[in-house]
């Protein structure tokens, strides 16, 4: 199985190294961003590999616990019969692309991809149902993600809780290398990386982390 269609099973949170490998496999133009054409190529490959009996339709029985496919099915409209034609599948995947492109620049950058991996496990939160995750909605998404990552529920990400986070995310969330990331630091770090803030709000002008 190629890295492009590699899947992670239900419950397992992939590490940064695993996420990066999948991202790079999708980024065939090597511009550190997944464009819509690259996404479509990955979507077509994902359809072919999932349609195990090659009848041109994906049914739930063919999906198993594949996180990528559960993500697609979670975006089905209510009342849908659960049988996806290729075109329906590709349309749903484009819906996911648009939602994952949080800063609306037409590309999924690595930080957006990392958040997408989290979304596959927290479920989608599109509060105003416009197919976009706005900055105001990002907080709700990341609150759920934080609960998921904080394995011992002590209100801070430490040790293995942080294995999913890229070096860039860690630097933005924990600039003083304290080894602890609070919910506010997680949110502020992602907001900074997504360009929502002019400065890294986890760092005061003198370089000290803000209190939680
Ligand atoms: Ca690319
Ligand atoms: Ca089939
Ligand atoms: Ca983007
Ligand atoms: Ca913890």
Q: Which ligand is nearest to the CA of 61?
A: 2
Q: Which ligand is nearest to the CA of 108?
A: 3
- Answer positive or negative: Cα dihedral of 127, 128, 131, 133: negative
Distance of alpha carbon 209 from alpha carbon 201, whole angstroms = 8
Q: For the segment 53-99, what is each residue's pLDDT rounded down to a tens digit?
A: 999 999 888 887 777 777 788 777 778 888 999 999 999 899 889 98
| 188: exposed, middle or buried (Cβ count in 10 Å: 0-12, 13-18, 19+) | buried
Amino acid 125: pLDDT: 65
Ligand 3 centroid from CA 46, angstroms: 22
Q: For residues 156 and 149, is the Cβ–Cβ distance under 8 A?
A: no
Which residues are within 5 Å of ligand 3 (an ion), measured at CB? 101, 103, 105, 107
Q: For residues 103 and 25, is the Cβ–Cβ distance under 8 A?
A: no
- pLDDT tens, per residue, the chain with 212 residues: 333 333 333 457 899 999 999 999 999 999 999 999 999 999 999 999 999 999 999 988 888 777 777 778 877 777 888 899 999 999 989 988 998 998 889 999 999 999 999 988 887 666 567 778 877 788 888 999 999 999 999 999 999 999 999 999 999 999 999 999 999 999 999 999 998 765 566 665 444 444 44
Amino acid 77: pLDDT: 76
Backbone angles phi, psi at 66, to 5 degrees: -65, 120
Measured CA distances, 166 to 88, 139, 146, 195, 198 (Å): 33, 19, 15, 17, 21
Amino acid 197: pLDDT: 67
Ligand 4 centroid from CA 105, angstroms: 34
Ligand 1 centroid from CA 43, angstroms: 15
Q: Which ligand is nearest to the CA of 23?
A: 1
Ligand 4 centroid from CA 183, angstroms: 11
Distance of alpha carbon 18 from alpha carbon 29, whole angstroms = 19
Amino acid 160: pLDDT: 94
Measured CA distances, 41 to 5, 15, 19 (Å): 11, 24, 18
């Amino acid at each position: 199985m190629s890295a492009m269609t590699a899947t992670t099973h239900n419950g397992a949170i992939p590490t940064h190294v695993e996420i990066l490998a999948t991202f790079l496999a999708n980024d065939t133009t090597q511009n550190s961003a997944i464009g819509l054409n690259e996404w479509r190529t990955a979507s077509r490959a994902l359809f072919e590999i999932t349609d195990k009996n090659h009848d041109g339709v994906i049914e739930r029985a063919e999906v198993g616990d594949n996180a990528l496919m559960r993500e697609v099915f979670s975006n089905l409209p209510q009342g849908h019969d659960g049988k996806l034609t290729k075109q329906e599948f590709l349309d749903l995947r484009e819906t996911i692309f648009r939602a994952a492109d949080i800063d609306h620049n037409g590309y999924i950058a690595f930080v957006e991809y990392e958040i997408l991996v989290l979304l596959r496990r927290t479920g989608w939160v599109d509060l105003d149902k416009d197919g976009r995750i706005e900055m105001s909605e990002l907080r709700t998404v990341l609150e759920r993600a934080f609960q998921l990552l904080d394995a011992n529920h002590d209100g801070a990400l430490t040790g293995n809780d942080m294995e999913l986070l890229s070096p860039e995310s860690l630097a933005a969330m924990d600039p003083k290398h304290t080894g602890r990331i609070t919910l506010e630091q997680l949110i502020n770090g992602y907001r900074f990386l997504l360009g929502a803030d002019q400065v890294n709000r986890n760092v005061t002008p003198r370089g000290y982390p803000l209190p939680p």
